[in-house]
Amino acid sequence: MSLKPITPRCLTPHLLTQRLQCRSYSAPGSGAIPPSKKKYVPTSGTYPLGFLAGATHVGVKPSNISTPDLALIASDQPCAGAAVFTRNKFQAAPVTVTRDMLKRRKGEGVRAVIVNSGCANAVTGRGGIEDAIKMGEETDLCFEKHGDGQSDGLGSRTLVMSTGVIGQRYV
């Protein structure tokens, strides 16, 4: 089974406005690899089969007007997932939501990782938790729209990650 190309509309219709750019590495919108990052980009070997990755600019942080700030890594089929979490007493909403999701699923049936840069969704209370849950659910809709997102009754299949400004919710 092959995952069809993911269109921005299936992630968050009201936020994504540009075409998802698929790459094998992380690079600025221009596609050039910054010299300081070249050491991290493999020059030989292969990338994992069965996974797709993409990034686009959605305007998570108002001052960012062009750099990709939303990334998606998706598996062609449900796979195992694991994570290491902070022990900080003040954990961001995506940490809580992702930890609970992996615990509920016992690390099985994961389909995607969605990551935003620009808003950490930390110290945002119940609203931040709801935002992180919604971010995962909207990503899950991509699989349903492509006919391979059968529900197994365990909830979201997407790990949610965020980095950026603390104390602000997603726009």
The domain locations on the chain are: 8-30+47-165
Residue pair 121/171 in contact (Cβ under 8 Å)? The answer is no
CB atoms within 10 A of CB 32: 9
pTM confidence score: 0.72
* Confidence (pLDDT) at 153: 84
* Confidence (pLDDT) at 95: 96
The alpha carbons of the chain give a radius of gyration, in whole angstroms, of: 16
- Distance (Å, whole) CA 147 – CA 143: 6
Q: Does the structural domain 8-30+47-165 have CATH classification 3.50.90.10?
A: no
Q: Given phi > 0 = left and psi -120 to 50 = alpha, else beta, which region is 119?
A: beta
Residue ranges in the chain whose pLDDT is less than 50: 1-27
Phi, psi at 56, each rounded to 5°: -155, 165
Q: CA torsion sign, 141 to 22 to 120 to 103? A: positive
* Confidence (pLDDT) at 7: 40
* Confidence (pLDDT) at 37: 76
